[in-house]
A and B are shown apart, each in its own frame.
Chain A
Amino acid sequence: MKIAFTSSGDNLRAPLNPHFGRAPKFLIYDLQNGDFEIIDNRQNLNAVQGAGIQSAETVSASKVGAVVTGHCGPKAFQALNLAGIKVFHTDSETIAEAIEKYKSGALVEATIEDSERH
């Protein structure tokens, strides 16, 4: 399975970006073999509206099964839900840290109540 991490950088040591909709990049990590790719999300920084939905479409197109991020708003959450993608929140500082927490089962799947409007 692949997981999308919201990223501020280009590799596993990069900081995990706290935002989903306006994350500058996504790091798509393959749990099977540890490979990853970086997807640029910069066009969303200037999106008038619907940045969360656009980000959901982007990660959905990469065929991920889960998203790991700091926060994600209600429309983004709804969009990810419709795409069959699970959402996990964490305050991990780096992507590597977040991966370890995910693998150890320390991350709890988010529910609609967790998504704050922002």
Chain B
Amino acid sequence: MILAVASGKGGTGKTTVSVNLAKIFGSSIQLLDCDVEEPNAHLFLPTQLELTEVVDTLVPEINTSACDLCGDCSYFCKFNAVAKLGAQIVVFPELCHSCGGCEKVCPKSAIHYINRRIGVIETFKSSKINLIQGRLDIGMSMAPPLIRTLKSKIDRKLPAILDAPPGNSCPVVTTIQDADFVLLVTEPTPFGLHDLRISVETLEALDLAFAVVINRMGIGDRRVHDFCKEKNIRVLSEIPNDRKIAETYSRGELMVDLLPEYKKIFIDLMERILEFQPNKKIQDG
């Protein structure tokens, strides 16, 4: 099972839900921190760094003696990473998506690819949780290549929880697109609802099974509940807005360890998730 935990709005509790679910899971589980711009799951688990792998992406390099400035490569590149400027072909590696197209269209075979480091993948040792995180280098702006490499580390024989980045753009889609099930963590406020709508639209376009967890119950209003009811979206859990949770979090500790009343919430949540078959839409009615 691959369970992705996403949200629209940031700060709703994705990592909280991901790590607490991983903790109460009965047997070995993988936790992948796919928020490679700011991985934070490791803060909540007593782990030792076991392995660091450097991750590269491929970017083009022009052989100027073979190049005749025809500009086909520049014309092809939708990302404007290869440009014909004056009497030269210039590569902007930070814009390159490594599609491999420029080399293929070059009539003079004047393009080859070189490695460009983008970040690292770190594997942590823990008792039952295999934590693997991606960490994008500072100054790098493209997360999806690193997220894809991170996901290639998933051991398909074990269940996996993917802690997704916030929002709904490329890094999120890369993380969640082949998940068996997606949990959308939201908060019962206008901001929560605004971004939840966009997430729901995204998941429907990707045809992914999903349900909602509402965190910080007690703040805001009922509009997120009304929205879920109107769209026949299951709300699998509600987590109260409890200062004790915030205190536990701020100390880098897990509520399922320190607050027994919340352990049950996560056990129930995991049971409800496991009840559903993969590839089946989780909807009421």
The residues of A with any CB-CB pair to B shorter than 8 Å are 47-51, 53-54, 56-57, 60-61, 75, 79-80, 82-85
Among B74, B78, B95, the residue within 8 A (CB) of A57 is B74
- Nearest A residue to B85, CB-CB: A83
- Alpha-carbon separation in the docked complex, A54 to B92 (Å): 12
**Interface pair A82/B90, CB less than 8 Å apart:** yes
- Alpha-carbon separation in the docked complex, A47 to B79 (Å): 8
Q: Is B83 an interface residue (CB 8 A)?
A: yes
CB neighbours (8 Å) of A56 from chain B are 83, 85
Interface of A: prevailing SS = helix
**Interface pair B79/A60, CB less than 8 Å apart:** no
- Alpha-carbon separation in the docked complex, A51 to B81 (Å): 10
**Interface pair B95/A50, CB less than 8 Å apart:** yes
**Top 4 A-B pairs ranked by shortest CB distance?**
A50-B80, A83-B85, A83-B86, A53-B80
**Interface pair B92/A82, CB less than 8 Å apart:** no
**Interface pair B90/A79, CB less than 8 Å apart:** yes
- Alpha-carbon separation in the docked complex, A87 to B92 (Å): 20
**Interface pair B79/A48, CB less than 8 Å apart:** yes
Known: A75-B92, A82-B90. A50 touches B81 (CB 8 A): yes
| Per-position 1/0 for B80-111, Cβ under 8 A of A | 11011110101010010000000000000000
CB neighbours (8 Å) of B90 from chain A are 79, 82
- Nearest B residue to A57, CB-CB: B83
Min CB distance, B171 to chain A, in Å?
14
Among B78, B80, B84, the residue within 8 A (CB) of A60 is B84
- Alpha-carbon separation in the docked complex, A56 to B78 (Å): 15
CB neighbours (8 Å) of A51 from chain B are 80
**Interface pair A49/B74, CB less than 8 Å apart:** no
Among A49, A82, A83, A85, the residue within 8 A (CB) of B80 is A49
CB neighbours (8 Å) of B95 from chain A are 49-50, 53
Known: A57-B74, A75-B92. A82 touches B79 (CB 8 A): no
Considering only residues 50-78 of chain B, those with a C-beta below 8 Å from chain A are 74, 78
- Alpha-carbon separation in the docked complex, A94 to B74 (Å): 32
CB neighbours (8 Å) of A47 from chain B are 80
- Nearest B residue to A61, CB-CB: B84
**Interface pair B85/A79, CB less than 8 Å apart:** yes
**Interface pair B86/A49, CB less than 8 Å apart:** no
Min CB distance, B166 to chain A, in Å?
20
CB neighbours (8 Å) of B85 from chain A are 56-57, 60, 79-80, 82-83
CB neighbours (8 Å) of B79 from chain A are 48-50
Min CB distance, B205 to chain A, in Å?
18
CB neighbours (8 Å) of A80 from chain B are 85
- Nearest A residue to B82, CB-CB: A53
Min CB distance, A65 to chain B, in Å?
11
- Alpha-carbon separation in the docked complex, A7 to B84 (Å): 23
Min CB distance, B172 to chain A, in Å?
16
- Alpha-carbon separation in the docked complex, A54 to B76 (Å): 12
- Alpha-carbon separation in the docked complex, A60 to B95 (Å): 20
**Interface pair B92/A57, CB less than 8 Å apart:** no
CB neighbours (8 Å) of B86 from chain A are 60, 82-85
Most buried by B among A49, A51, A61: A49
Min CB distance, B84 to chain A, in Å?
6
CB neighbours (8 Å) of B78 from chain A are 48
- Alpha-carbon separation in the docked complex, A53 to B96 (Å): 13
